[in-house]
């Protein structure tokens, strides 16, 4: 990951074969990001950057959280984005508008080639869950997530605008800052 001259050279897992998947057994975004970064760094003997992210809904006690992508499946309500969204709307059906607060969270973990976690960074975007879907962009819970301070859901934002306010964008910018301060990137 760290190239010569202090720059970054990234490779996707798809380029590295065979890949032994890392099980996400952590209870937090941080734990899962660290598991994956540590595991892939150790597996390939190179720097590894991993993330874990998802949706945290206050009225559900922070759930779906680390199981956001499997929320409906874990409740026997189908699989995939449409099923996840339908279940979330059903679970929030009687929750008043002012109590539908939520956030998308992303945690990044950077591990050295020995599998030691060197840096972590977190990003979040605050919003609320709407009564129904709006927009056709993005994926996952994007059509239901109304961003605080914007009059749109993340599914209604053009990609450039979404990346500027997203949890992943914020986490990546924070990690770059931390890497620069630590002398890991130019």
**Which amino acids are annotated catalytic?**
52
**Secondary structure of residue 3 in the 3-state scheme:** coil
- Closest-CA residue to 52 (of 76, 116, 39): 39
Count of CA atoms in the C-beta half-sphere (13 A) of 2: 19
Position of tokens 């009564």?
A: 131
Is-contact 42 114, C-beta < 8 A? yes
Is-contact 120 132, C-beta < 8 A? no
Strand locations in 29-73, DSSP E?
Answer: 48-57
DSSP 146: E
Is-contact 66 27, C-beta < 8 A? yes
Count of CA atoms in the C-beta half-sphere (13 A) of 125: 25
């Amino acid at each position: 990951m760290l190239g010569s001259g202090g720059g970054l050279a990234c490779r996707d897992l798809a380029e590295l074969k065979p890949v032994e998947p890392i099980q996400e057994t952590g209870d937090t975004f941080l734990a899962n990001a660290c598991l994956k970064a540590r595991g892939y760094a150790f597996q390939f003997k190179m720097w590894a950057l991993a993330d874990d992210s998802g949706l945290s809904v206050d009225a559900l006690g922070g759930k779906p959280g680390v199981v956001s992508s499997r929320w409906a499946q874990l409740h026997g309500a189908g699989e995939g984005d449409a099923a996840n969204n339908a279940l979330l709307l059903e679970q929030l059906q009687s929750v008043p508008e002012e109590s539908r607060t939520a956030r998308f969270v992303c945690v990044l973990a950077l591990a050295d080639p020995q599998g030691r976690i060197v840096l972590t960074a977190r990003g979040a975007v605050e919003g609320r869950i709407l009564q129904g879907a709006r927009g056709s962009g993005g994926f996952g819970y994007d059509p239901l997530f109304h961003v605080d301070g914007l009059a749109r859901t993340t599914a209604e934002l053009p990609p450039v605008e979404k990346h500027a306010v997203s949890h992943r964008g914020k986490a990546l910018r924070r990690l770059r800052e931390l890497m620069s301060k630590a002398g890991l990137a130019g």
